[in-house]
Amino acid sequence: MTMRGNGSPTAGNPPTCGACPAFQDNLCHIFTDAMFADALANTTVDDHYAPARRSLWRAGDTIGRVPVICQGWAAASATLSDGRRQILSFLLPGDLVSAALIFEPVSHCAVDAVTELRYRAFPRGELQQALSRKPDLLAIVSRISADEKARADRLATDLGRRGAAARIASLILALAERLRKRGMMQGNTMDFPLRQHHIADAVGLTVVHVGNVLAEFRRAGLVEINDRSLTIADQPALRRIADEL
Amino acid sequence: MTMRGNGSPTAGNPPTCGACPAFQDNLCHIFTDAMFADALANTTVDDHYAPARRSLWRAGDTIGRVPVICQGWAAASATLSDGRRQILSFLLPGDLVSAALIFEPVSHCAVDAVTELRYRAFPRGELQQALSRKPDLLAIVSRISADEKARADRLATDLGRRGAAARIASLILALAERLRKRGMMQGNTMDFPLRQHHIADAVGLTVVHVGNVLAEFRRAGLVEINDRSLTIADQPALRRIADEL
DNA sequence: CGTGAGCTTGACTTGTTTCAACCAACGTGG
DNA sequence: CCACGTTGGTTGAAACAAGTCAAGCTCACG
């Protein structure tokens, strides 16, 4: 299955996305799910490409279609008036950018490409129709939405009640977990395209402090990071740290 | 409209909740909305009462019906293994405890009564049926769900990227705003049943520090707090603080 | 009258930020 | 080819924000 240029219609083709390996639960990649493939059989689909570091949408932007990440990582974030930034979630291949976009065409946070990125946009109207036709789809979407909410709540408790080391350990473990579900872990190592400033903005710390904690993790033999790849060397210990202070 | 005892069915009665004043948008009190009143016309409804400080549900609990707050305040929170707690949102009269509960019967966070509390529980099955029958209702629920998500994201950015004073000011303003929509503000003053430990758990600080900041606010003439009631004395200044550090 | 929950205040400690300097890798254009 | 700016990472010292510990106070309640 190959990617098409911007806006090229592929009516009749069950829309799939060749970039992502096997998916093991219905939280991911819903639009290529058997049910959706049926519901969206004759819909127009357009694919998009963005280079690393490109801003895709800013808070308040109108998004005509419902985007799904196919390849690469992106970050959804909120920016304060003085420039401070909080990354609210990392978007991985197979992720709907936001479940809310199925119903409302306006993004409430900014989205930036972390790596080179490919995403696919689906027409909102047909999605909604499919949704009201098949209650099963509604269950899936509500599941995705609940999952987003659970992740946001988890982030809030991490930021509010955990120390630096725990937040960072927690982030690493959560990403590993999500990647594993997508079959994107090789043993205990994963592609890790995040810069320290991404991590800092995600866990609410400064870049310098993140660097220190990460160095500490490396010294303690918890993780190894080189060349945009991270391996979890001592998962039990990392998990212990994530649960503690 | 009067309250009934636990579990007493009121079939045929459009379910309303006499405790809450006028509601000005569809985010609140959806179950008494004209559309829902129709959809749920002959459903059984049961009312519940809980004294202040009572725990209603713990994380992971199964909740048979979908609860809506009628009177009083509650807090939804996550608790860490060592007892630290993060309040994820305060539930006000008219609030659905969680939109996710419409689709799944298990709560992913704990809920505690802040004040003496009355809430009403609706049968999930009939709610879902009404939802798939009328697409308008789906729009409303998706709106509520998006709103919950936006609030969670807002909380995360506050906790991750703002200082103590800003977080507290932000909380006060957000509560005032929500109460105003419900017609529960008298000018610039509101009922304010929160203890300092609630605020502390909501903004991710210690009780002592919250006390200090609040004292500072009072000294600066920003707010007045006495006898479980809070009045915003200098809203512009408070707003400025909420946006800054 | 005692008890416990809630608020206030002060002294001290810790975690995190800020500021600054420096290095390595990389791409660009002369 | 080299000089150069940019981006990302590392390290150390000093400043600051928030946490901890502790004591004393009020008030409501039994």
Q: B160, A204: Cβ pair inside 8 Å?
A: yes
Minimal C-alpha gap between A159 and chain B (Å): 6
Question: Residue A240 corresponds to which amino acid?
Answer: R
Per-residue pLDDT at A241: 97
Predicted confidence at residue B38, as pLDDT, reads: 67
Interface contact B160-A102, CB threshold 8 A:
no
For CA atoms B102, B105, B109, B110, give the dihedral sign. Answer: positive
Range in A199-213, B22-36, B184-198, B205-219 the model is least confident about: B22-36
Contacts of A85 in chain B (CB under 8 A): 161
Alpha carbon of B211: minimum distance to chain A alpha carbons (Å): 17
Q: How far is A133 from chain B (nearest CA, A)?
A: 8
How far is the C-alpha of A162 from the C-alpha of A66, rounded, in Å? Answer: 34
A138 vs B132: CB contact, 8 Å cut-off? yes
Query: Residue A135: pLDDT above 90?
Result: no
Question: A108–B81: do the CB atoms touch at under 8 Å?
Answer: no
Query: Which DSSP helix (H) or strand (E) runs through A85?
Result: strand A85-91
Nucleotide nearest to B212 (CA to C1'): C8
Q: Which of strand C's nucleotides are less than 7 A from any protein C-beta? A: 5-11, 15-20
Segments of chain A assigned to CATH 2.60.120.10: 2-140
- A153, pLDDT greater than 50: yes
Q: Mark yes or no for CB contact A138/B143 under 8 Å.
A: no
Reported as a single tens digit per residue, the pLDDT across B1-21 is 333 333 333 333 333 444 444
Q: Per-residue pLDDT tens for B133-173? A: 888 889 999 999 999 999 999 999 999 999 999 999 999 99
Q: What is the mean pLDDT of residues A164-188?
A: 97
Q: Is the pLDDT of residue A43 over 90?
A: no
Per DSSP (E only), the strands in chain B are 46-50, 55-57, 65-71, 74-79, 85-91, 110-113, 117-123, 189-191, 223-225, 229-232
Q: pLDDT exceeding 70 applies to what percent of chain B?
A: 82
- Residue closest to B169 by CA, chosen among B234, B241, B225, B236: B241
Q: Coil, strand, or helix at residue B52?
A: coil
Dihedral pair phi/psi, residue B74, rounded to 5°:
-135, 170
Numbered residues of chain A with Cβ closer than 8 Å to any chain B Cβ: 78, 80-82, 84-86, 88, 98-100, 102-104, 108-109, 128, 131-132, 135, 138-139, 142-143, 145-146, 148-150, 152-157, 159-162, 203-204, 243-244
Which nucleotide has the least CA–C1' distance to A209? C16
DSSP secondary structure, B91-110, as one string: E-TT-BS-GGGGT-SB-SSE
Structure tokens at A58: 């800013």
B119 φ, ψ (degrees, to nearest 5): -140, 160
Across the range A166-188, mean pLDDT stands at 97
Say if residues A190 and A184 touch (Cβ distance below 8 Å): yes
Least confident of A36-40, A184-188, B218-222: A36-40
- Residues 194-233, chain B: which have Cβ under 7 A from strand D? 204-206, 208-209
Using an 8 Å CB-CB cutoff, list chain B residues near A162: 80
CB-based contacts of A57, cutoff 8 Å, min separation 6 = A63, A107, A110, A111
The Cα–Cα gap between A192 and A229 comes to: 5
Query: For the segment A56-83, what is each residue's pLDDT rounded down to a tens digit?
Result: 999 999 999 999 999 999 999 999 999 9
Give me the sign of the Cα torsion angle A242, A178, A72, A61. negative
Nucleotide C7: closest residue by CA–C1': B211
pLDDT score of A130 more than 50: yes
What is the SS3 assignment for A163?
Answer: coil
Q: How far apart are the first and last CA of chain B?
A: 46
Strands A110-113 and A55-57: antiparallel
CA B30 – CA B102 distance, rounded (Å): 12
Subunit contact B162:A80, Cβ cutoff 8 A: yes
Reported confidence tier of residue B25, pLDDT bands at 50, 70, 90: very low
* Percent of chain B whose predicted confidence (pLDDT) is above 90: 75
Establish whether the CB of B159 is closer than 7 Å to any nucleic acid atom in strand C: no
A113, A51 Cβ separation under 8 angstroms: yes
Task: Give the residue carrying structure tokens 């995600």.
Answer: A202
Task: Classify residue B187 by burial, with Cβ atoms within 10 Å: 0-12, 13-18, 19+.
Answer: exposed
Q: Indicate the residue of B85, B131, B156 with minimum beta-carbon distance to A88.
A: B156
pLDDT of residue B136: 86
Q: What CA–CA distance (Å, rounded) separates B169 from A157?
A: 19
CB-proximal positions of chain D, under 7 Å = 7-13, 17-22
CATH number of B162-242: 1.10.10.10
pLDDT at residue A41 in the model:
65
pLDDT, position B9: 37
For residue A227, give both structure tokens. Answer: 């060349």
Cα→Cα distances A165→A199, A214, A244, B163, Å: 12, 8, 9, 20
Considering only residues 25-84 of chain B, list those whose CB is below 7 Å from strand C: 53
Q: Stated in angstroms, how far is A90 CA from D3 C1'?
A: 38
Q: Which CATH architecture has domain B2-140?
A: Sandwich (2.60)
Q: Is A86 in contact with B135 (Cβ distance < 8 A)? A: no
Rounded to whole angstroms, the distance from the CA of residue A67 to the C1' of nucleotide D5 is: 36
